[in-house]
Amino acid sequence: MRKGTDKVIGYLPDETPTTGKLLVFAFQQLLVMFPATVTVALLTGFHVSTTIFASGLATLSFLFITKGKIPLYYGSSFSYIAAVISITGVTSGLAPDNLISAAQFGIIMSGLVSIAAGLIVSRFGMNVIEKVLPATVTGSIAMVIGISLAGTALTSAAGFSGGVANDKAWIAALVTLVATIFFSVYLKGVWGQLPILFGILVGYIVAIPLGLVDFGAIWTGAVVEIPHFTIPIANWAAVAAIMPIAIATIPESTAHLFQLDIYVNDLARRKGKKEYKIAEKLGINLIGDGLGDIVASLFGGPAGTNYGENISTMAITKNFSVKVLGGAAIMAIVLSFIQPISNAVRSVPSSVINGACIYLFGVIGAQGVAIMINKKVDLFNARNLAVIAVILVVGLGGAYGFPNGMIPIFGAKLPAIATAATVGIVLNLLLSIGRKKV
């Protein structure tokens, strides 16, 4: 073996790349979070620039409250879309300020649920959460989150509209996908940490002659513009609709934390460094989740969650530096004020972004499998199989079988991921009654 070929490349949470690398890595994380975060704003009637600002501020708040120990980025949560729409009443265009303000109040109250859960875990320890959220539940939910987004990735990559796919969009998406995979597999060293960014750049270049990039939209409006901020207004109907969704985000956040623990410590072992006990920080992680929601909503942003897309990017690039994510958050805040830059990033065609997301969303699902493998889940055990099977079918069946992923039952409409999480948690607890610990 040639000297130096076995060098381990990557950054652990407390490691810092050089300034130039940090900026490039941060921009890559920004690109990854951007489409989904903006999509939530567009679907719920929230202001895009405000949503981007809130995303960056929520991330900085999370990194502050967790003392820089947990490298996660916060973007808008898809789990809340249906509940928020029930308050704002729109699926496109901007909602009136008073309805956004009402939804903000519901989101803030949902943040308190996450904080309460975090305090319970911090007080009584991991055993409490492991009984309620074992790997069978968190791993399955991670798979549901990733695979339930597969339809969005493919239809957006295809430019699918009115029952017709756009061949030009397919070309850009497939080039992006192949380029991203190629770069992630074959690039080494520093270059090997930027496959998502490079893949999107290649797709963007290909999209230009295909007529998919609107350069004229980049310079519309003022250069600098303050985001449109709104303040929360007490509304108990919004609380009833939005607050329960936090139940779904707790196992989602738990699953993401366990994923992160696996990948960070794999890199730490390869580098011969200490163990990073990230999974043991679930309590403060949940508190940070709730704080992030509250901070984002105080300014008019949607409810958030730590992004699987960003975790996937970290896992692929082996870059878990907290300062990189902090840099991405600061970039997002600055971006929300500078309209040409914001417009330029938004000019990246949806087909290009979602070409990369075909890979990213699949990685999220695969990380659910990694959780079960890491926790040595016995897939021949009838109890485990029952929990996993029900979560997968309720989550994925609900997401794909009903409009907007809302399951109609007994006169109500229940969000698929939240329902799958709740049913899985309850079923696991029921099947644990009288079970001897081995």
Domain-wise residue ranges, the chain: 19-431
pLDDT value at position 190?
57
**What is d(CA 330, CA 253) in angstroms, rounded to the nearest whole number?**
22
Per DSSP, the three-state class of 194 is coil
**What is d(CA 375, CA 355) in angstroms, rounded to the nearest whole number?**
32
pLDDT value at position 2?
41
Instruction: For residue 193, name the pLDDT band (cuts at 50, 70, 90).
Output: low
Q: Where is mean pLDDT largest: 274-288, 321-335, 409-423?
A: 321-335
Whether 241 shows a pLDDT value over 90: the answer reads no
pLDDT value at position 44?
79
pLDDT: which is higher, 313 or 54? 54
Whether 200 shows a pLDDT value over 90: the answer reads no
For 14, 186, 280, 285, the CA distances from 252, given in Å and listed in that order, are 24, 31, 16, 12
Whether 92 shows a pLDDT value over 80: the answer reads no
pLDDT, mean of residues 211-216: 84
| Lowest-pLDDT choice from 149-158, 186-195, 269-278, 338-347 | 186-195
Q: For 133-174, what is each residue's pLDDT tens digit?
A: 788 988 888 788 778 878 878 888 898 877 788 899 999 999
**Residue keyed to tokens 């600002």:** 53
Instruction: For residue 61, name the pLDDT band (cuts at 50, 70, 90).
Output: very high
pLDDT value at position 359?
87
Whether 438 shows a pLDDT value over 80: the answer reads no
pLDDT, mean of residues 56-85: 87
Give the count of beta carbons closer than 10 Å to the beta carbon of residue 255: 30
**What is d(CA 149, CA 260) in angstroms, rounded to the nearest whole number?**
20
pLDDT value at position 189?
63
Mean pLDDT of the chain: 85
Whether 6 shows a pLDDT value over 70: the answer reads no
Instruction: For residue 420, name the pLDDT band (cuts at 50, 70, 90).
Output: confident
Q: Name, in order, each residue with C-beta under 8 angstroms of 27's C-beta and a sequence gap of 6 or more.
A: 197, 328, 331
Q: How would you classify the pairing of strands 304-306 and 406-409?
A: unpaired
pLDDT, mean of residues 315-322: 89
Closest CA to 316 of 381, 259, 400, 354: 259
Q: How would you classify the pairing of strands 412-415 and 406-409?
A: antiparallel
* Joined tokens for residue 122: 């911090």
**What is d(CA 307, CA 393) in angstroms, rounded to the nearest whole number?**
23
Q: For 335-384, what is each residue's pLDDT tens digit?
A: 899 888 767 766 788 888 888 888 877 887 887 888 888 788 999 999 99
Percentage of the chain surpassing pLDDT 70? 93
pLDDT value at position 197?
76
Closest CA to 347 of 223, 198, 196, 218: 218
pLDDT value at position 298?
95
Whether 95 shows a pLDDT value over 90: the answer reads no
pLDDT value at position 5?
43
Q: State which H helix or E strand residue 409 sits in.
A: strand 406-409
pLDDT, mean of residues 40-46: 78
Per DSSP, the three-state class of 305 is strand
Per DSSP, the three-state class of 329 is helix
pLDDT value at position 123?
87
Per DSSP, the three-state class of 92 is coil
Instruction: For residue 392, name the pLDDT band (cuts at 50, 70, 90).
Output: very high
Q: Counting beta carbons within 10 angstroms of the beta carbon of residue 277, is it exposed (0 to 12), middle (13 to 18) or buried (19 or more)?
A: exposed
Whether 175 shows a pLDDT value over 90: the answer reads yes
**What is d(CA 250, CA 286) in angstroms, rounded to the nearest whole number?**
7
